[in-house]
Amino acid sequence: MGKSSNKTYGQESERRIRANNREYNSQFHYASNYIKTSKYSLVTFLPFNLLEQFQRLANFYFLCLLVLQLIPAISSLTPITTAIPLIGVLALTAVKDAYDDFQRHQSDSQVNNRKSKALRNGKLVDEKWATVQVGDVIRMENDQFVAADILLLSTSEPNGLCYIETAELDGETNLKCRQCLVETAEMGQDESLIGTFDGEIVCEVPNNLLNKFEGALTWQGKQYSLDNDKILLRGCVLRNTSWCYGVVIFAGKDTKLMQNSGKTKFKRTSIDRLLNFLIIGIVFFLLSICFFCMVACGIWEYLFGQNFQVFLQWDTLVPSEPVGGSVVIAFLVFFSYAIVMNTVVPISLYVSVEVIRFAQSFLINWDEKMYYEKTGTAAKARTTTLNEELGQIQYIFSDKTGTLTQNIMTFNKCSIAGQCYGDIIDENSGEIIELTEGTEPLDFSFNRDYEPDFKFYDRTLLDSVKRNDPESHDFFRLLALCHTVMPEDKHGRLEYQAQSPDESALVSAARNFGFVFKERSPNSITIEVMGQTEVYELLCILDFNNFRKRMSVILRKDGQLKLYSKGADNVIYERLKADQDDIKAKTQEHLNKFAGEGLRTLVLAWRPLEESYFSDWKHRHQQAALAIHDRDDQLDAIYEEIERDLQLIGVTAIEDKLQDGVPQTIANLAMAGIKIWVLTGDKQETAINIGYSCQLLTDDMVEVFVVDGVTHEEVEQQLKKYRDAIRVVNTFQPQGPGLNHHTTSSNENGNGMSSQNVSRPAIRSDDSAITFADNQRDASVKVNPAPAISVVTFRWENNIDQPVSQSTSTECNYSGANTENSDPLSEEGNGFAIVVNGHSLVHCLHPQLEQRFLDISMHCRSVICCRVTPLQKAMVVEMIKKNKKAVTLAIGDGANDVSMIKAAHIGVGISGQEGLQAVLASDYSIAQFRFLERLLLVHGRWSYYRMCKFLSYFFYKNFAFTLCHFWFAFFCGFSAQTVFDPMFISVYNLFYTSLPVLALGVFEQDVSEKNSLLFPKLYTPGLTSSLFNKTEFMKSALHGCYTSLILFLLPYGTYKDGLAPDGRILSDHMLLGSVVATILVLDNTTQIALDTTYWTVFNHITIWGSLLSYFVLDYFYNYVCGGPYVGSLTVAMSQATFWFTSVLTVIFLMVPVLAWRFYVVDVRPGLAARLRVRQRAARVRSRQSTDPLRAPSARRARRSLRSGYAFAHQEGFGRLITSGKIMRKLPNADFSFPSLGGKFTSTAARERERDKEKSTDNSAPVPDSSLRAPCQDLDTINL
């Protein structure tokens, strides 16, 4: 039997194991339990690490140069000039790699040397984890880690139960229950019985599915089904269980934990990709210069050089005839100049970038303002290679539950037998009373098991329970019975361990209303109903999964069989009995109402079962459960058969509140020019409501499109209509600065006039406009097949006659970061939003409709995708990456967000209620969504700004340094003679200029962290890569070329044929080289001092210390080490000529820089520059503003004016808008139709313009704290 399955690992179709039989199991060569994640050993480190490092193009390039320098015929430089920086780079990288691998060795050793107890010949012996093998029986004790993936045999708890914590697998700290077979549980801890256990296990091959296991146990002539509930995985911790025994099924690399620890997808930043392109360009530039020098050398040698052979003979390799000799010399000179000017390709660039990123990661980790005290969780940069990418995010893809919301559930409302509970009704007016902090909750102290923290306010539900209303009792009885919660007694108090916050909230609600879940066994559930104990026989649990979206239990009590079920509304409604139209309609109204309030809903139902039918069903269920292949599909079919003809009981409504600061965070990120998409598994109405709550959807939007078509044709038709609607609106809406969109329905406001505020946006699906009463529970639908056309009015932020140069295009023109003629930074767009259902998204992502869907989405301020699967989340991210070439960020907190997080350029995990799987897969982790604002607008913007400034300066100084050799070539016959001392060439980038630029890259700030948050538009340069791109690189390169030209020619002109006052000749090569090198260091110091806007003690030490170190090291090398340039700099500095030349050269170099910068600040200042100027002016005037600085985008957290469901208009709402009776004040709310020549201008606007003409005060208006922020410009911000 075993021989047939004797296949090598990777080819096996099933795994066969015999317990306590190492000889049998060894024939299959299963993996041992030894873990090795390290890459090197002491012997292999040096060769393997060097091989890995030389796979990088830059390192290999410099290795080739080093080899060329070893050839005397072509090298005018000693090999040390390349060897020192190359060895330094390799050594630093090797030290980092060695440290990382040492950490892995330590981790491996710690894990492999953990102790476990294994049975050997019927006796327990201590074994290291590394020596445990497949088939061994091991014993675990409380609070111990599980050594391998094991089949549970027996436990200390009754009925073979045990409890585990899976934090190392999925981050969840709530306890999970596992249960062994009843037959094996009888062995207890009898070592003689367990030692003779010889069961044979046939199971699936190793895989990475944590929540799935299929297998069968054959023992004593019987076969038993094995599933995931009987398996303990490596990495779990045993809790609340004294001991347990199990047989090892998977060990070492075959365990599910190790199968899930595959390599993370390698991510590179856009800066990295640009650098690779630029380095290739620089190499071609270097080759072109070398080619020019080669040609020039050949010409010079042919015309003049041959005449110098009397003084300096040609090398023996060179032919004596003029033409042949000139060609050979020119050919050799090509390689010589490649060596001389190799520093134009900066070898230290990559190391410097990594050091800066590493330091920036610590700044993120140490930020106390991203520390969440409630959970003691700090922000953490889990990677050190993506920091500047945080400053270039164009799209954010966010989960909803646990990310935007708290994922702490509270039982809020319910519907029972068509009656809605949860609202407090005023007895006089019949209106709903809004709950406040002063509202008294109900007193549940009559129940000895009540929870003081539980709050409910509607007394009618409690009265219904107390008078033994059968519907209410059935409702709460189902909540107390249909779940997978585990009870636990802690210090005499009943506590629940639930796998989800939803389950915990529902069982807790039943408990407080008097239906207390007390005890669970594998075959029974005990509850206490109003003080009376009820015991139910548990016959079967039909568990929840993402496909079924429901769970059921089958119970027997007093001879009656009942199936209780709860699940998503659409799933349960499909399975209801046909004769319940009245209660279904009423309950549907309540479902709509709850969803409109942003509540999470579940539908409850039940059905009676016949004993004979259940017996037959149970037999078929047992067969499906024993299946080795396709077990899940067979079980789903069996479940589907019995979960039908259900009788509706009611609906639960659980509230999942927004996290603190979510609306303001989203508002500020949107103002920064970042588009935010929400991808959630929740239903459409809930997603829309949360969209309004967190300001993704706002009252001033023209329209909210809903794509809910089922077929490809329906979705295509909807997208076509919405595209046409956008086209119509855009026809009447020209682009201008600070557009604010006010909408009126054409049939409601035919004159085209709008008031000072905005109307409610229409929420449209393909064939209907939905309207619901605002404060009524009954919903009505008004069908309108033709899509309404909204007439759009708008206002100018500033005077209509303002210069055109100050105008900015609006967001609707923005089609990605690469669009050069549009301004993606404008806050206001056309005011559209789109909501897409999961079943419609399948068609939207089809190649035929993808581009159309993308075009519509680009015209929308917000996109919400609901009812989406984890795979669809990743597909949406990939769609944006592929089509828009935009930088994306995905943020989530659950396992269903992992695929999205890995797909995005940046993955951010939130350590929330759903565990830490998202965190473990992320690049950065934070505790709350609001910290994302600081992560991007402060750390991200700073990191990008610093990296760009660092790169610009780095390339500038390298071009200025290297091209001096090129200008000198014209005066040395293109002989590849160097200007500088070879030692200076070697250490220029390592010592003289490295630390100042590193300090710049780590500590530089253009504005403070406070202003970075107050003015989100400071973030926008990163969206278009405007701080460092090919153009900025060319500017730095040209600046470096100009510097090198002045740097060489002025000293050369000064010292050519120069004499000292005492008659000594100053025109020697070494003195000129020392002078040029010194002025170069002075220029670099001056330039970086000008570039530094935020001075710290580190900047002072590195900048002035590097300048001082140049003179110290030059003296030490030449005088102490006997360098060839000894005395050159000393002689030069003793002459006034040197100081005059140095000052003159620095002035020539700095005046154009200062002039350009003054011109930019005065004529074309950026937002950061204007902010700094105004703040400095404010400090000089010592004027205290009467209005404190605040974020113009700050928004009040209040609910939008909308109805209960889908937030459509109440009938007559348009007339209220046009009358201005319910308007809130908006800043600068003047408006007109510029396209109509200003004919329709409001009285308020005309009065405001007259006031402006009379006013001589040019101070900026103070922004209002409206929900919609004004266009953020310094002219509109009071500093």
24 beta partners: none
DSSP 139-150: EEETTPBP-SEE
Residue in 550, 600, 596, 588 with CA at minimum distance from that of residue 400: 600
Task: Quote the tokens at residue 523.
Answer: 């075959």
The structure tokens listed for 11 are 């080819």
Helices (H), 238-321: 256-259, 270-303
How far is residue 473's CA from residue 530's CA, in Å, rounded to a whole number?
10
∠ at Cα 1089 (1083, 1090), nearest 5°?
90
- Which residues are 432's β-sheet partners? 425
Q: Which of 177, 890, 973 is nearest to 521 (CA)?
A: 177
* CA dist 870 → 90, 488, 897, 1141, 1142 (Å): 42, 33, 6, 67, 64
Q: How many residues in the chain?
A: 1279
Q: Which helix (H) or strand (E) covers residue 1096, if one does?
A: none
Sign of the dihedral defined by the CA atoms of residues 1055, 1056, 1060, 1065, in that order: positive
**E strands within 207-353?**
215-219, 222-226, 231-232, 237-239, 243-250
> Looking at 254, 399, 699, 923, which residue is catalytic?
399
3-state secondary structure of 77: coil
Which residue, 53, 38, 34, 35, is CA-closest to 99?
38
**CA 615 – CA 618 distance, rounded (Å):** 5
Q: What are phi and psi of 406, to 5 degrees?
A: -80, -20
CB 168 within 8 A of CB 235: yes
Residue among 497, 462, 1231, 203 nearest 794 (CA): 1231
List the alpha helices (DSSP H) in 797-906: 838-844, 847-858, 870-884, 898-903
Q: Is 630 left (phi over 0), alpha (psi -120 to 50) or beta?
A: left
Question: Between the CA of residue 134 and those of 19, 122, 844, what are the distances in Å?
Answer: 8, 17, 48
**399 catalytic residue (yes or no):** yes
1044 three-state secondary structure? helix
Phi, psi (deg, nearest 5) at residue 350: -65, -40
* Structure-token pair, residue 1221: 């009776």
Closest alpha carbon to 245 in 329, 205, 185, 182: 185
3-state secondary structure 515-553: EEEEEEECCEEEEEECCEEEEEEEEEEECCCCCCCEEEE
For residue 166, the cross-strand partners are 172
Q: How far apart are CA 745 and CA 1208, in angstroms?
A: 13
The strands making up 15-18's β-sheet, listed across from edge to edge, are 15-18, 200-203, 215-219, 222-226
By three-state DSSP, how is residue 237 classified? Answer: strand
**Complete DSSP assignment for 405-460:** EEEEEEEEEEEETTEEESPEEPTTT-PEEPP-TTPPPP--TTSTT--TT-----HH
Pairing of strands 832-837, 703-707: parallel
Active site residues: 399
